Amino acid sequence: KFESSDHCSYEDADIVMKEWQHVLGNGQSAPILLRTANVIFSGLFEKEPTSRDLFTRVNVGDMHSGEFLAHTLRVMTGLDELINKLHSPAVLDSMLAHLAEQHAARDGVKHDLFYVFRDIMYSSLSQLLDEYNPDAWKNCMFHILYGIAGALP
């Protein structure tokens, strides 16, 4: 399944939160989140074409439609909330448990799609961020992605 990683230490969490803040720190957070999400989802659909069908309900046929943008904003604000809770493990874990249920309820959502998502996310972040510490991201995103997708088929 997921390759293991070191524990997301307090310092790792600090680095990830600070670097993530640089993505969003200029007051233009929504357009940046949407653009990043568009890159990630386009990359996912390119690599795993059948995964597109999981998003028909949210009008993936037109990735610029209000429905699809609203979906990507839910995902990215969800990610933002998770990252901002890296110092509050109990709260983080209850958010992750809820997201795990929401994803498990959707047929066809498989754990391996999450590492495709992860790898595309890492390459976008490394391009987006002047300072990018891959080990800190790997350690903390392991916890987040495993928390959502660890029990998926």
Give the interface with ligand HEM as residue ranges (CB under 6 A): 51, 54-55, 57-58, 71, 74-75, 78-79, 99, 102-103, 106, 109, 113-114, 117, 144-145, 148
- Residue whose CB is less far from ligand HEM, 57 or 64: 57
Find the shortest distance in angstroms from Cβ 111 to ligand HEM: 9
Q: Give the whole-angstrom CA distance, residue 142 versus residue 153.
A: 17
Cβ neighbours of residue 35 closer than 8 Å, sequence gap 6 or more: none
- Residue whose CB is less far from ligand HEM, 24 or 75: 75
Find the shortest distance in angstroms from Cβ 28 to ligand HEM: 20
One DSSP character per residue, 72-133 reads HHHHHHHHHHHHTTTT-HHHHHHHHHHHHHHHHTSTT--HHHHHHHHHHHHHHHHHH-SS--
- Residue whose CB is less far from ligand HEM, 22 or 106: 106
Find the shortest distance in angstroms from Cβ 6 to ligand HEM: 19
- Residue whose CB is less far from ligand HEM, 21 or 70: 70
131 neighbors 22 (Cβ within 8 angstroms): yes
Find the shortest distance in angstroms from Cβ 44 to ligand HEM: 6
Find the shortest distance in angstroms from Cβ 21 to ligand HEM: 17
Cβ neighbours of residue 107 closer than 8 Å, sequence gap 6 or more: none
Q: Give the whole-angstrom CA distance, residue 132 versus residue 22.
A: 10
- Residue whose CB is less far from ligand HEM, 15 or 41: 41
The residue nearest ligand HEM at its CB is 78
33 neighbors 73 (Cβ within 8 angstroms): yes
